[in-house]
Amino acid sequence: MDFLRPDSWADALAAKAEHPDAVPIAGGTDVMVELNFDRRRPAALLDLTRVDDLSQWYQQDGLVRLGAGVTFARLISELGDQLPGLAMASRTVGSPQIRNRGTVGGNLGTASPAGDAHPALLAAGAEVEVESVRGSRRMPVSDFYVGVKRNALEPDELIRAVWIAPATGPQQYSKIGTRNAMVIAVCAFGLALHPSRKTVGTGIGSAAPTPRVAAQAGTFAANALEEAGLWESRGELPPSLAQEFAEQVQAAASPIDDIRGSAAYRLLSLSVMARRCLVWAWTDYRKAA
Amino acid sequence: MRITTTVNGEQRQVDDVWEGESLLYVLRERMALPGSKNACEQGECGACTVYLDHVPVCACLVAAGQADGREIVTVEGLQVEGELHPVQRAFVEAGAVQCGFCTPGLVVATHDLLERSGQPSDPEIREALAGNLCRCTGYEKILDAVHLAADRLSTSEKQ
Ligand SMILES: Cc1cc2nc3c(=O)[nH]c(=O)nc-3n(C[C@H](O)[C@H](O)[C@H](O)COP(=O)(O)OP(=O)(O)OC[C@H]3O[C@@H](n4cnc5c(N)ncnc54)[C@H](O)[C@@H]3O)c2cc1C
Ligand code: FES
Ligand code: FES
């Protein structure tokens, strides 16, 4: 096995082009488990932890440009105010040790339907920037997930960053698991109110082959809030609106029965989480007036 | 592959490290530092917790090559001039050690917590130690040990 350790982004791209079968490793919290258990014997590991560019975040063009190598721990401590939904989701990941190493880029690389970053990224309308020696491209995060644990990367591409608009309204994240710490989601939901655009962002986790948005539910809620003049009045949220939203979120999911939970349980819990997230976020929105 | 690291303040170099090997394996099998325990090799138990550049991590999930040129502190490195660190002493005295397999990881995680927070509350302790499993003590004595260590460290600071 080779161990490639580029110390610049250009070198990392060159290494990936030369060794398309090399497995990138960032925090290693997914990759090392596979190696330790002999589930994977890649021809080479491509260590990304020495590429400074990946562990940086900064604001550019009104967006937060979050390097793929920023850890969950840093997201929580440094970006809780700008990216509250993603920070909330990050707090639910594994344990302190896992959050100290695990990265958003790694979560995207694994592209598990249960990855906690995904519902928050979807709800915020994030974009993923990927690059190879051939050039760079940016896509909505919803296009990045292409199948169960499959993403849109070409063999020579690496994830460079995620671009996310700083929150202009309340965001929420809700996750169901068997205990509080160290738990993979049975089902999860992310929500973002975007009052500046009068839209409602959504993200479903662990209830479909890929993380996905509940597009109709978001449009329904945004329109209903608009028709009732609630974005301006910040009036109380009609329970029927929250209920209809929850049902539409449920309709957007297509869960399976597995060891962590049944499809029926996932649908039920998803509708409860969707309703709660909307109510919590709306309550925050009203308080912010 | 050759790995050069600073471990517990000492420069260490090892050769013929397999590229897919974990830092935990290097520490235990190549550097004769068996303090960090191997219990799950999948990040679930925290028995292998070490500091990597001052950040507590599961050594079983760090690839050996990622530790090259970095600074590592293991549970062996916490002792002060040959004496147990106050966190270690508190674990012994509070009865927080039974089989002891989880202890090294819990000691490192507690050490980190008390560096950041002088007198943590029970929920703070539970959150900070959520990545460390213990199958013997039922955790109550571990909480006692953390409080005891916190008390002693804060009094010794005041003196
Ligand atoms: C005990 C434990 C608990 C966990 N709990 C949770 C949890 O609660 N929620 C959750 O979502 N996840 C959890 N995970 C899974 C894991 O921590 C996350 O998926 C994490 O985000 C992975 O990030 P990493 O940097 O460690 O990735 P790595 O393991 O380094 O890489 C993961 C994948 O991404 C690829 N990759 C990494 N960076 C790039 C890049 N820049 N470009 C292209 N490909 C890249 C790698 O090749 C690999 O395929 C847990 C893992 C463990 C061991
Ligand atoms: S051995 Fe590393 S976490 Fe269990
Ligand atoms: S003392 Fe035995 S596992 Fe904790």
Q: What is the pTM of this model?
A: 0.97
Q: How far B131 CA lies from chain A's nearest CA (Å)?
A: 5
Determine which residue's CA is closest to atom 2 belonging to ligand 3.
B99
Backbone angles phi, psi at B98, to 5 degrees: -110, -90
Asked which of A182-186, A237-241, B144-148 is least confident by mean pLDDT, the reply is: A182-186
Neighbours of A178 (CB within 10 A): 10
ipTM score here? 0.97
pLDDT at B159 (0 to 100): 58
Q: What average pLDDT does the segment B75-98 reach?
A: 96
Residues of chain B with CATH 1.10.150.120: 86-158
In tens, the pLDDT along A92-125 reads 999 999 999 999 999 999 999 999 999 999 999 9
Decide: A29 and A101 in contact? Cβ < 8 Å: yes
In tens, the pLDDT along B17-32 reads 999 999 999 999 999 9
The fold adopted by the segment(s) B3-77 is Ubiquitin-like (UB roll) (3.10.20)
Residue window 5-44, chain B: list those with CB within 8 Å of chain A: 18-20, 22, 41-44
Beta bridge mates, A202: A191
Decide: A212 and A142 in contact? Cβ < 8 Å: yes
Residue window 193-252, chain A: list those with CB within 8 Å of chain B: none
Residues of chain B with CATH 3.10.20.30: 3-77
Domain map (residue ranges) of chain A: 1-48, 171-287
Q: How confident is the model at residue B143 (pLDDT cuts 50, 70, 90)?
A: very high
The fold adopted by the segment(s) A1-48 is 3.30.43
- Looking at per-residue confidence, does A180 or B51 come out higher? B51
pLDDT at A181 (0 to 100): 82
Residue of B17, B19, B24, B129 to mutate, testing the A interface (most A Cβ within 10 Å of its Cβ): B19
Which of the listed CATH numbers 3.30.390.50, 3.40.50.2000, 3.40.190.10, 3.40.630.10 matches domain A171-287? 3.30.390.50
- One-letter amino acid for residue B131 of the chain: G
Decide: A247 and A221 in contact? Cβ < 8 Å: no
Give the residues surrounding ligand 2 with Cβ less than 6 Å away: B 38-41, 43-48, 58, 60
Q: Give the integer Cα–Cα distance in Å for A45 and B66.
A: 10
Beta bridge mates, A139: A128
In tens, the pLDDT along A198-226 reads 999 999 999 999 999 999 999 999 999 99
What sign results for the dihedral spanned by CA atoms B74, B79, B85, B89?
A: positive
Give, for ligand 3, the residue of B103, B107, B129 to mutate: max count of ligand atoms closer than 8 Å to Cβ: B103
Q: Give the integer Cα–Cα distance in Å for A164 and A263.
A: 31
> Which CATH code is given to the segment(s) B86-158?
1.10.150.120
Mean confidence (pLDDT) of chain B: 96
Beta bridge mates, A135: A132
- One-letter amino acid for residue A129 of the chain: E
- Considering only CB atoms, A95 lies closest to which of B18, B19, B130, namely B130
Neighbours of A129 (CB within 10 A): 18
In tens, the pLDDT along A124-165 reads 999 999 999 999 999 999 999 999 999 999 999 999 999 999
pLDDT at B158 (0 to 100): 61
Q: How confident is the model at residue A86 (pLDDT cuts 50, 70, 90)?
A: very high
